[in-house]
Amino acid sequence: MRRPIDSLFGRLVVLVIGVLVLSHVAWFAVIRVERDQSQTRYAVEEATFLVDAVRQHIANSPNQPLPSRVRVVPPTSPDVPKPTPTPADDEVPPPLGRFLEDIRDRLPDGTDVRLGEPGAPPSIWVRGVKDTDWIVVPVQPLRPPRSRDRMLVWLAIIFSTAVMAALLAAWQLQQPLRSLAQAVARFGRGQPTPPVPERGPRELRQLTHGFNQMVREVSQTDNDRAVMLAGVAHDLKTPLARLRLRAEMMEEAKIRDGVVRDVDSMAHIVDQFLVFAHDRADGSEPIEVDQQCEKVARTYRAVAPGAPPIQTRLGAGRSFVLPAATLDRLLSNLLDNAHAYGAPPIVIETWRAANGWVLRVADHGSGIAPDDLIKASRPFVRLDPARGGSGHSGLGLAIVERLARRAGGECEIGNYEGGGLQVVMTFPFDVATRPADERRAGSQHEERTA
């Protein structure tokens, strides 16, 4: 099961959102603290300014009325509040304690500062050493009530914009890498790989350029090898045909049959060379795998009644389809290999797995030694004399693996617990998911519309 966080884009998303969340939370906390301190400093400045202004007013024009909410109260008045506890006491909240400390620092030494009675408009009572009366001035609330903090709204807007911009940048950054990863996967399966556009950061462009150059060189090497094998195999067909004709004209039956068998073996090897050298995409019509497997099994039973039995366990259904030529070559090579090296019964099995369609061909022979499994699909490799025979060049499993990868699937060769060799081929759902008649109808519709 794929997890979004496993991809580069998913991890970039998590990283970007995490960094943005941490930075915005940190800035929000810093701004809130700074704003509270600014409010406290402003309230202190305003209160000390009003106290100095009242003192100058009393000294210069005592007969003029004072501004609203500014009073001068005699010390004997019953309205004088009780002394405010020191900030060290638990009764004073920390913000209010810091406010009183700042007020006392700004006023002359010995000044008595008290808070107004609770429930009344916020005010402070100040009486210096030289003051005869209490000076009462209003103060701003340290934390004015707010129904909603606008800062949160702005932070949400900025955060959303930053996340969208960052996700767009991350998506553009991972797109070239994703294209390169898809091209590498196609190249690994042996499928045609067009050049990947060289875009993105400098290091990624250099990597893409190197990959494109490697694909061109490997393709050129494969083409040269295919041309060489195809040429050799084609040139051998004519002398082989002449040899067979001359062999059939021999009078002695024993010698004639032996020469004909050798010529047929050589012709089979030549055919394998041609199949292995063929490096083009299969353009044949897709057919249902289950139906074709059953047909091939019936053909083997009819042609060779004494051959080992072939069992079919076909459970994929009509949605599993593959190109006809590819499927025929796969089955023929696997069944020939099982008949030559394995033991009955031979099983052809299909089913729908979680990650794609599965085609399995197995026999009940001795299998392959574990140390030789890695070499089983290498071309021109014959594992041991016991697995050799006339007409075999070591290309059977190599052809199977190449055909499976060219069709978009994966091939796994190994032994199983019941004994014998099994070849399991898995084809993704996006390679073949529609029944053959639906594809045929779609292609006919396209031809009519064209």
Which domains, from first to last, does the chain contain?
A: 4-138 (no CATH), 284-449 (3.30.565.10)
Q: Can you give the pLDDT at residue 352?
A: 92
Q: Is the pLDDT of residue 380 over 60?
A: no
Q: Can you give the pLDDT at residue 382?
A: 54
**Residue located via tokens 């009675």:** 117
Q: Can you give the pLDDT at residue 125?
A: 86
pLDDT in tens, 337-351: 888 788 888 899 999
Task: Quote the percentage of the chain above a pLDDT of 70.
Answer: 76
Q: Is the pLDDT of residue 381 over 90?
A: no
Q: Can you give the pLDDT at residue 182?
A: 87
Q: Can you give the pLDDT at residue 441?
A: 47
Q: Can you give the pLDDT at residue 394?
A: 52
326-337 average pLDDT score: 85
Cα(33)–Cα(26) distance, integer angstroms? 11
317-342 average pLDDT score: 85
Task: Quote the percentage of the chain above a pLDDT of 90.
Answer: 8
Least confidently predicted of 136-145, 249-258, 270-279, 404-413? 270-279
Q: Can you give the pLDDT at residue 387?
A: 44
44-59 average pLDDT score: 85
Cα(100)–Cα(93) distance, integer angstroms? 11
239-246 average pLDDT score: 78
pLDDT in tens, 16-35: 788 888 887 888 788 777 77
186-192 average pLDDT score: 75
Q: Which of 141, 99, 98, 107 is nearest to 127 (CA)?
A: 107
Confidence at 277, pLDDT banded by 50, 70, 90: low
Q: Can you give the pLDDT at residue 26?
A: 84
Tokens (6 digits) for 215: 């694909």
Q: Can you give the pLDDT at residue 88?
A: 54
Q: Can you give the pLDDT at residue 360?
A: 93
When comparing pLDDT for 275 and 324, which is higher?
A: 324
Averaged pLDDT score across all residues of the chain: 77
Q: Is the pLDDT of residue 279 over 80?
A: no
Q: Can you give the pLDDT at residue 298?
A: 84
Q: Is the pLDDT of residue 443 over 50?
A: no
pLDDT in tens, 97-153: 777 888 888 888 888 888 887 777 788 888 888 888 888 888 876 655 454 567 777
Confidence at 395, pLDDT banded by 50, 70, 90: low
327-337 average pLDDT score: 85
Q: Can you give the pLDDT at residue 144?
A: 52
Confidence at 201, pLDDT banded by 50, 70, 90: confident
Confidence at 450, pLDDT banded by 50, 70, 90: very low
Mean pLDDT: which of 228-242, 280-294, 308-322 is highest?
Answer: 308-322
Q: Is the pLDDT of residue 190 over 60?
A: yes
| Contact between 407 and 327 (Cβ < 8 Å) | no
Least confidently predicted of 50-64, 280-294, 298-312, 419-433? 298-312
Confidence at 54, pLDDT banded by 50, 70, 90: confident
Q: Can you give the pLDDT at residue 444?
A: 45
Q: Is the pLDDT of residue 372 over 90?
A: no
Q: Can you give the pLDDT at residue 439?
A: 44
